[in-house]
Amino acid sequence: MNPPVDDFPTRLTIPSRLATRVTALLVFLVALDLVLAIVAVFFPNLWAAVMHGEDVFVDPHHMLTRLGAVWFSFLVIQSVALFRWRLAPEWLAVVAGARGSEMCADALYWAQSDHLTWFGHLGLLSSPLANIAFGLILLGAYRKIVGRVTLNS
């Protein structure tokens, strides 16, 4: 009779170089979304100045506040991943999916905006590509880690 197989391995083999890169990317993403969420929710006039070159931001439907809440959600997901990914690498795929969900939004924001600063153009045009790249990096890391799973005996 064969011994039972544990479906949840307790030890993952993660190359140190990969671990350093993944951790650095997650720290960067947490910091990025922390700044974006704080500016969007608490400093909308700063957002207006940096992104649109306007002194006062008018947002009667509070869409920027909603966007700040989305970035806060990303911050929470990425923070959990930062502390859990070595034991539960599926968190890397969760972050990749979250980043991917944002790629079309910034392209549409760019296309619909009448007034953008050079920074607004740069940020909104580069973020879809950056989110794709971040997602692919994290999915690649996930695949490398899952491919290296070893079961404790």
Domain ranges of the chain: 69-148
pTM of the model: 0.86
- Identify the three-state secondary structure at position 49: helix
Please return the burial class of 7, using the count of CB atoms within 10 Å of its CB with bins 0-12, 13-18 and 19+. exposed
In this predicted structure, what is the pLDDT of residue 12? 72
| Out of 17-26, 55-64, 80-89, 115-124, least confident range | 55-64
Q: What is the pLDDT of residues 56-98, one digit of tens each?
A: 888 888 999 999 999 999 999 999 999 999 999 999 999 999 9
Average pLDDT, rounded, for the chain: 90
Give pLDDT, residue 124: 95
* Residues contacting residue 92 through CB under 8 Å, at least 6 positions apart: 22, 81, 85, 138, 139, 141, 142, 145
Structure tokens at 104: 């079309």
